[in-house]
Structure formats: C-alpha cells, structure tokens
Structure 1
C-alpha cells in the first residue's frame, strides 16, 4: 500500500525517512519551517543548538547513513561538514524538490481516515504523516530561587543559544549542568578567554573522553554486545562492565581533582567530553555543587559557598514540544514535556497512519538509529515486513506507560537494535563467522545493518569490516581476554 505522506521537518530524521519512503513507493512531501534543510545542523540562531565551532561527539563512522559515506577525514567532523553531508544525501536521493521550504506546519490532525496539515494558511490532506521535527528545541532553565533576577552583565542563557566564546571573554562564567552540551561549552570558553569558569552540577558524573587509545569511545561502548548483555545479565553486572570500560578509557573524576562520583555508574551517569576533566585538573574549570539561590550577580551553592558571576549558561536539558499537534492527537499520545505514548517511540494503535521520528532521549549518536527507525516505518507501511498489530502496539504502549516517571535517557545501541529487529535487518551472528567479533564488540556502523534483510547489499560485508577496523580496535576475528570473559557470562546466562 502506497500513497501520499507528509513529513514534518527536513533535518536528518525527515531526510532519511523521506528517502526510505520513496524506496517503498510512497510520495513524501517534506515541510520545513526554515529556508534551508539540515534541522539543528543548519545552525540557525534561535532554531539550533549547534554553534559554528562545534564538532560532533560521535565518530564519523556513526554520524552517517548506510547509503552515503562521509567525505571528512576528521574523526569527529565539524558541524559544517555534517550539514554538507546532509545536502549531499538530499541531492543523491533527489529529495530537495520534495521539500517545501519556509513552510511551518501550524496544525496537524486527523481527517476522515487521513491527516490534515495546515501550513501558511493553506490546508492539505495526506494519507499518512511522519513527525520528524526534532526533540531538542525547547531548552529548560532550571527552577532556582532568584535565577530570574540574575543581574550579571551577560545574563542567563541556554547552551542552545550559545554561538561561540566571544561574548564570554574576560567574563566570570557559571555553567549549570553536567550533560555533554554543558561540559563542551565550559571547556570551550575556559580555553578561549573566559576569566573564570565554574560548573555547577547536581551530582558528579563519570566522564568518558571522546577518544581514548586511538579509538573513538562510541566504538567501545555502543556495541551489540552491550545490548545482548543488557538483556541477559543482572543490572549490577552491566553497571560494573560499563564502569570498567569508562574508567579504563578516562580514569575516575576524583583522579583529576573532581568530586568522587557514586560507585554505581548507573546512579552517577556518564557524559562524553574530551577536555573537561583535564581542564578541571589544571584548575581552569572549577566545580561546585548545585545552586540554592541567586541574588543579583551572586550565586549561593548547596555547600554554602558564594560567588559572583557575569554570565550563567544552562545546559540542563530539553522539553518535548510538538505544538502543532491537534488536541485529540496530543491526548491520545498523552504528551507531556518528557513523554509520549508510542510503540517503540514510533507508532500508536489509535493513530493509524502516524509515525514519530527521533522523539526519544539518548546518549550517543542519532544517525544510525534514525535510519533504522525510518526503514522500519517505510517497510511496515510498504509491506516489506509484517507491520506490528494493534494488539502488539497496545502492549508496547502499556509497557512504556509503566516506566513513566523513571529516567528516560537510553543508550544509542539499545535503541538501534530495537529498530533493527523491528525492521528485520539485525544480522545473525552465525551467518557471519568472519565478522563475528566485529558484530559483537565493534561499532554499530550503518553498514552492518545492510548485511541481511530488506535492502541487503553485496558490498556490506567488506564495508562493515573496514568500518570496524577504521581505528584499529577490531583488526582480527580473535577476541581479547576481556571480550571472552564478558561473552562467556552472557552465554552462561542465556543457558543451553
């Protein structure tokens, strides 16, 4: 079954789902509110949290789709190179004529078995719709007493609005938060002219460097083994293994002069940042516990210390915002700032013909799971695979609702394998003995999901072998002693 599909957003999610919908015979029309494609990667002020000097925190292998290899030689490409990649992707699959630029979707609702899209005063009816407008647009300013009265010369802002260190040179800067944007902004301004940089955090996280021993950390930690272990082993063992990998790669924060984190990595959390802990060790970034109050330029912290600042920059997360959805659709999804009900973040049984893209919160890169989610949507709608039944979807939604109120951030490999299995493209280990180690302990490169299933490619084995060996971590099929030890635990837990 094919037909017309409205796609909301021309960022990575919108582009990749349009490409795969086309492959299944659909006619997608992409609505983009701005005059350019790229979403966050376009770097438009007020629309994007990407600043000109930003580089990815995921490696080039995992910041790409399976049909177009990156041209950059940089391990962590610049934001400009990612935007160029998205333009090349759109051109390769002839997506640009299908994008309606400067077409902000104002209303999206159900209409007699189809979907009505209102934009720029006009209305159009589509058979189906994919919401791919992005999850990271509405930044959260934390509720701290007096923060709205802060009188420092630069004021209060979000890392979403950060565009470079110029306005913060020779200033006393307080960065609030310990997620990646907070630590990356703090590191940049500390190295490029701020008079003083302090990071205030609710708890000390473990910090994983982007690059360790010549290997990008996303190749070590976002693996298929991690998914299988998560399914087979008790949580304390998963916690121990992840902590072992993280501490081996970058040490523990207290070794750099930071507070000691919780012994449990799950309780403490982990953030990816190459420069943060070395700058703490050098005294160029100071650490404080969380803020209790603000009065004028003065901030008081929970340990009783007090300090004056010129700027407060908040890297404290985002709220889920889909303001164009009709009231009845919002009610069915039970949408709130952190949650929406959906079968594996994608479908709802009471909203046939609607799919959601990229609406989960994760650690790790989005390109690989976005492509897998796009393939699942296109295959399920196009008949290449058996679509989930309404009963299955209801069970999935019920299971998600049972987790509401719990921490929502998940790891990239868990999401990627969820979508790969749904799309029927998870490779079977037994089918690839020469790639077995790479498939278990190597990176979840997009090429490994073209080995089997719909749209398998004959060149995928060679491409995946090259991707897995790109930085020297997986150059043979012989596992390390630790890999043997870890895998034996999973096998023992799985039983005969």
Structure 2
C-alpha cells in the first residue's frame, strides 16, 4: 500500500508537488479552501493579490513547468493565462480529481509517527504532509503615526486588495512601496484616470524594464552564471556586474527624475517594471520619501513636505502566515512574520514527514524553483535519492538562524540551483558543449533541468535549445565578456 500524503493548498506549489509525488507512487490528496485551484492566480478577492489587468513580470519560459509548454507565444502572460495553464497542467497529470475544493484545513499536527489533518470537524491521518499554502497571503502594512485615523474618502488598504483602477478614477492616490505590486499599480492608475499618483518609498530601487532590446529581463539577470558567481566571486564584483546589466537595460532612476539609488544594487534592490520610470519622467507619477505621519487626509513625508490624498495603498510586502500549523509545530519551526527554521526552506530534522513548498521570500520567477523543490521532496521521500542526514539538516537550520535579522530575499536563480543540486538534476556544463553558453548565460528554463538525473527527458536538449534560442541566448555576442569572466572565475577557483 502506498504512503499517503496531504498537500495543503492547490496553487502552483501544491499542484507541482502533487505531480511529482504521484510520479513517485504516493497516494496524494490536495486540500484547497477555495472554489478552484490556482492559489494567487485564482484572483479571488480577499484571498489573492492578483487583479484583473495584471500580467506576469516573468516571461512565459520561466512561468511554466518542465512537462507542459505554454500554449501561447505571449511573452508575459496574463493572470488568466497562468490560471488556465495550471488547470491544464492539473488535468494533464490527473491531479484535478485529487483536489478537494471548498475544504479549509484548520489544523495540521503530529499524530505519533503520522500527521493529523483537521477540517470542518473531520480528522484524517496521513503518513506525510506538504504545506503549500503560499508565501504571499498575509500583506504587511508598517506602522505609521496617525494612519489609523486617515480620513481620505478611499481609505487605507494593501495592494493585495486592489481590484482595478475604476474605484480610483479622479482620486489622489498615494502608493507606498517600490516593489512589483506598488509600481505596477501606480503605473496602471496613472494610465487610467487617477487625478494624481504619488509613490512614497523608504529607498529608491533600480527599476529594470521587463523587456529590453528584444530580451525578457529575467533571461538576463536570473542566470546560471549569476548563481555560480555568487559562490565564487567577491560580493562587490557580483554587485557591479548585476548593476551594469540593470543600468544598461533601463538606465538609472535619476535619469528619469526619480531619486538616485544607492550605488550598490544589493543595497538598493531592483524591481521589474516596464512603464513606471517613463511615467515619472513625464510627471504623471510623483516620488516622495517615506511617510512621516498622517493627520486626517494630509500626509507628511520625511523631507518635511506634505500633501492631501484620498487613498493610500500599501505595497510593502508580506509576512509568513501558516495558520493551520499547530502551536507545537510552529514552535519547532520557530515561525514568526519573517522566518521559518528549515533546511533549505523545506525540511526540519525534528519534523519527519513534513515538508514546506514555496515558503522562501522570493525575488524573480518561482515556477522553476518550485518544481525543483517539489522534485527534491518527492525523490527524497520516495527513495530515489537519500534524505539529508540529521546532521546536515541541523547544520542547515543553524546556518539559516545565523542570518536572522538580515534580508531574507532569495533570487530565483540561487533558489533554482540550490534545489536542483539537492534533487540531483543540475546539468553539467562540460557534458553539453553545444549548450554551454545557453546553460551559463541563458534562461533557467525548466527544460534544462530535465537534461540529467532522475526523470531526464530524451527531448530536453531540443526543448532547451528552443527556449534559449527564442531570445538569442545561444548566439548573442553580448555574452562574450561574461564568458571571459566565467573562464577567469573557473581558473581562480
């Protein structure tokens, strides 16, 4: 009899881990609180931060899994495209019949060597549990003096609850934050009839256009070379190279009339957005420093200036939120708003039979690392590869704890390579000379992680060649300098 696994959540993480657990012979049940699969991509008000006009800021190549290609040539899919893809994926791999919709899990706790899952007064026992409830479900609004008494007619809310520009036509809107949702919504409001749009931020980020010189920017910045360099080159050199890529593609913020960013890209941060900086340059979006205080409908900023607003929207990130976990399990994971103690965001040595999916603070696309993390879990539990030893897991947890208090953002390429190595599916550069440039400097397409290891696919090389060639990663001469940098890095190490 096959082991039973409860997967909590039917978003991208839940769907992909179910696919690979089924491939390893597990009996999988997926619990979903909502009326449909998709997680954030369902667009459900109150449960999703996706609004009707939203498109991905990651390209179609990196917003897909390795076993099913997108069915459109649209480079940046709409949110409905992504939801349709997830439904098609679940149907293709016989996951849909295993999803229990309208089933909110109230408690996950240990039951001897097994796991207890409670929902609507019902108790079920499973051999294993995967938590796939998502990292972007608990919007965080920072404390601001006077904010609770804001009297603007549009009120205060998170961008998580934004559902389009119609409610903001003719209004003065302050958007707080400089990450993806804040800049996307500020740009949409500026295009769609808001009387005035102002962005307030703690620091100016670099803004990388989603598409530059015919290439999606996630193909430039989230590469295998970037992950290898992070382990071999001095941080200052990695910082310089990344900043160079960003500024060459989209310029520096002060060139558009925005405040200058910190010379260090690592210190400043970077956000992908195609239209925000041009709108700042046209005066259609104003930029102010962070909010000092609120008095009625008047907002005072850190530089002493003040202004009146009808609405304040906060796009200021998310906290960790896994309400179904028991107090005992939460204590073992030392769970708080920002941290989860786990070996590479996945396992804990004192919680055998429990795994987490998609719970790292993500920067960049997450479909590819989600699949690699899912394969690691399935292979390790299924016996295809060894589970990390107790000592390895404890060392990894200790290393994570030593970084508490620092930024927890993990770039997509670093997460992808970390999980690919754990799953034993990182392709060897030397083994694929004809794909060498693409493997180093091209997109981290899901197809490249089917070249080697468990579940290697005979058509993976052909598919990866196609994915890399679509935007020139195989032949683009701009990679010559970075190739030389790679040679120097290899020789020095």
TM-score by length of 2: 0.99
C-alpha contact 2:177 2:315 (8 A) present in aligned 1: yes
CA distance in 2, matches of 1:103, 1:227: 39
Residue aligned with 1:246, SS: helix
C-alpha contact 1:2 1:26 (8 A) present in aligned 2: yes
Quote the residue 1:337 is aligned against.
Answer: 337
CA distance in 1, matches of 2:475, 2:32: 43
Deviations 1:279-331 (CA, angstroms, capped at 9, x unpaired)? 00000000000000001100000111010000000000111011110111000
Quote the residue 1:151 is aligned against.
Answer: 151
- Cα gap change, 1:479/1:284 in structure 2, threshold over 3 Å: closer, same or farther? closer
CA distance in 2, matches of 1:182, 1:367: 22
User: Could you tell me how far 1:486 is from its partner in structure 2?
Assistant: 2.0
CA distance in 2, matches of 1:473, 1:487: 16
User: Could you tell me how far 1:142 is from its partner in structure 2?
Assistant: 1.5
C-alpha contact 2:441 2:473 (8 A) present in aligned 1: no
Residue aligned with 1:355, SS: strand
Residue aligned with 1:194, SS: coil
Deviations 1:43-90 (CA, angstroms, capped at 9, x unpaired)? 000000001110000000000000000012211000000000000000
CA distance in 1, matches of 2:492, 2:373: 29
> Equivalences for 1:313-324 in 2 at 5 Å?
313-324=313-324
Tell whether 2:487 aligns with 1:488. Answer: yes
Structure 2 residues not aligned, in runs of 5+: none
User: Could you tell me how far 1:479 is from its partner in structure 2?
Assistant: 7.1
Residue aligned with 1:313, SS: strand
Tell me the C-alpha RMSD between the 2 structures: 1.0
User: Could you tell me how far 1:2 is from its partner in structure 2?
Assistant: 4.4
Residue aligned with 1:332, SS: helix
Quote the residue 1:109 is aligned against.
Answer: 109
Quote the residue 2:86 is aligned against.
Answer: 86
The number of equivalent residue pairs is 493
User: Could you tell me how far 1:424 is from its partner in structure 2?
Assistant: 0.3
CA distance in 1, matches of 2:490, 2:240: 18
Tell whether 2:166 aligns with 1:166. Answer: yes
CA distance in 2, matches of 1:7, 1:158: 28
C-alpha contact 2:364 2:411 (8 A) present in aligned 1: yes
C-alpha contact 2:210 2:217 (8 A) present in aligned 1: yes
CA distance in 2, matches of 1:310, 1:474: 50
CA distance in 2, matches of 1:493, 1:356: 37
Residue aligned with 2:430, SS: helix
Deviations 1:379-402 (CA, angstroms, capped at 9, x unpaired)? 000011111111100000000000
List structure 1 runs of 4+ shifted beyond 6 angstroms: none
Quote the residue 1:238 is aligned against.
Answer: 238
Quote the residue 2:393 is aligned against.
Answer: 393
- Cα gap change, 1:2/1:428 in structure 2, threshold over 3 Å: closer, same or farther? farther
> Equivalences for 1:40-51 in 2 at 5 Å?
40-51=40-51
Quote the residue 1:360 is aligned against.
Answer: 360
CA distance in 2, matches of 1:94, 1:481: 45
Residue aligned with 1:190, SS: helix
TM-score by length of 1: 0.98
Structure 1 residues not aligned, in runs of 5+: none
